[in-house]
Amino acid sequence: MRLIFARRALQRRLNDLRATLDGSAVDNLAARLNRPGRDRLAAMWEVAVLYALADSGMLRSEVPLPSGSRPDAFFDNGDLRFTADITTVSDEGLDDGNPFFELSALIEKEKTKLGLPIGGVDLRVKSMDHRTVRGTRTVLRLPPRNQLGAFVRNEIVPQLRDQIRAGEWPLRVAIDSDDAGLDITINPAKSPYSQGGFAAYDVPQIKDRNPLFNALKPKAEQLRGAEGVTGVVVCDGDCAALSERQHSRNQVSAETIAEDFLRQYSSIDFVLLLTIREAQQLWPRVEPAGRRVHHILVVRAGFNAKDQLSALFAAMTGKLPKPVAMPVNGALRAREPGYDLGHHGGYQMEGKKIRISSRELMEVLAGLRTFADNGAKNVEASRRQPSRPSPVQNIFLRNLQHGQRPTAINVIKTDEDDGDDWIEFEFDEPDPAISPFS
């Protein structure tokens, strides 16, 4: 599991938060981080933001309000005091209503049952726009998610089966009905790759009808009764409104949505938007993508402490961990059990030294994999595919054939933004114990 921030960076912040928050509160955050699912990303953001606030002033968490709600943060640095709730917003609800990827997976599953090789699918889903005086909402022309399985079995599979029997290649299915609109082409010659296309249904075009506004709205009630400055910290859990994508001139920005929320709920003083930006690079990439936390501060009209908040949040953002993934990838990985790979399959050479993954070496010694697996995540599946020689294994074999044994082994530690260390082996002159006399 690889979230937006590295696991080591999160653990250090959990450790440091124990000096500020109640131990049970930190235990609860750790438990949420350990549990695969949507909430894991929300817990990650809470740990990062609470740590950054605690490092910037006095922080208390879950102090009860007269209403009974327990906001995530009460902050005071002597110059500025506020109560805020932290929320993570995603487009999961929109994804559920526009199940393109579920349809793609079901088609692949049924295609396998028909004896076709993996991939080779081109899936194009049509859309429709619901227009009102307040804006436009785009939806994909697909059956509800809970009816997709029956739709694929009853509408798509029979057509594929008939074409296979008739020897028609590539296979083509076109559906344009009240229930769905899509075009499918299956060409086994293009295996194992698939592609698809659909309209951007997650782009907000109505200020107060989108996932970001929906996440903000309940916070007004939850913060009711809080004294002084109040605000909401909104974190990106894969929400199109917070991304840099610009799809249409009618698109409503996250800043505009926050402004409309503050206009409608004047009891809230500010909204802080936190997302990740990635430096654009030409393809192919020769260096890892440069990522940073990007923040946008929006305050209500007439609020007179914007300068103090701006300075605080600029400093606070600098105390957040370095992003190692974008929200879209972090949201996907948050649902997965286990751990992401480290430097598996990688190596570094310099002179008579070679560095290999510390975690991979541990797994090799534990009998879970060999270097011939080339760092594959799913070892069993990779062994069923054509293999290629392992560079690491060949390097050690060559040294052994020359009678060279390691003369020094060192652990090369990496920082908290990494997920693995390196083990460095240094080789010297041939050892006469395993090489010819000279």
Tens of pLDDT, residues 37-62: 999 999 999 999 999 999 999 999 99
Our count of domains for the chain comes to 3
* pLDDT > 90: percent of the chain: 89
| Cα→Cα distances 153→111, 113, 114, 120, 207, Å | 11, 11, 12, 19, 39
Binning pLDDT at 50, 70 and 90, where does residue 246 land?
Answer: low
Of 285, 309, 333, which residue constitutes the final position of a domain? Answer: 333
> pTM to 2 decimals?
0.90
Of 166, 197, 228, which residue constitutes the final position of a domain? Answer: 197
Cβ 105 vs Cβ 152: under 8 Å? no
Q: Which domain holds residue 255?
A: 7-89+217-333
Q: What is the pLDDT of residues 363-407, one digit of tens each?
A: 999 999 999 999 999 999 889 888 899 999 999 999 999 999 999
Residues 147 and 83 in one domain: no
Residues 306 and 387 in one domain: no
Closest CA to 183 of 204, 166, 159, 161: 159
Residues 41 and 186 in one domain: no
Residues 33 and 140 in one domain: no
Q: What is the mean pLDDT of residues 236-248?
A: 85
Residues 172 and 238 in one domain: no
125-139, 249-263, 282-296 — which is least confidently predicted? 282-296
Closest CA to 323 of 419, 417, 420, 421: 417
Q: Report if residue 355 sits inside a domain.
A: yes
pLDDT at residue 286 is higher than 60: no
Give the phi and the psi of residue 176 in degrees, each rounded to 5: -140, 90
Of 147, 166, 197, which residue constitutes the final position of a domain? Answer: 197
Residues 238 and 264 in one domain: yes
Would you put residue 37 in left (φ > 0), alpha (ψ -120 to 50) or beta? left
pLDDT at residue 247 is higher than 70: no
Show contacts of 101-110: CB within 8 Å, 24+ apart: 102/145, 102/148, 103/142, 103/148, 103/152, 103/182, 104/194, 104/196, 106/148, 106/149, 106/152, 107/152, 107/156, 107/184, 108/194, 110/152, 110/153, 110/156, 110/157, 110/160
Q: Report if residue 342 sits inside a domain.
A: no
Give the phi and the psi of residue 26 in degrees, each rounded to 5: -70, -40
pLDDT at residue 98 is higher than 90: yes
* pLDDT > 70: percent of the chain: 97
Q: Report if residue 82 sits inside a domain.
A: yes
Residues 98 and 84 in one domain: no
Q: Report if residue 210 sits inside a domain.
A: no
Residues 112 and 67 in one domain: no
pLDDT at residue 24 is higher than 90: yes
Binning pLDDT at 50, 70 and 90, where does residue 288 land?
Answer: low
Paired tokens of 391: 């560079």
Q: What is the mean pLDDT of residues 224-248?
A: 90
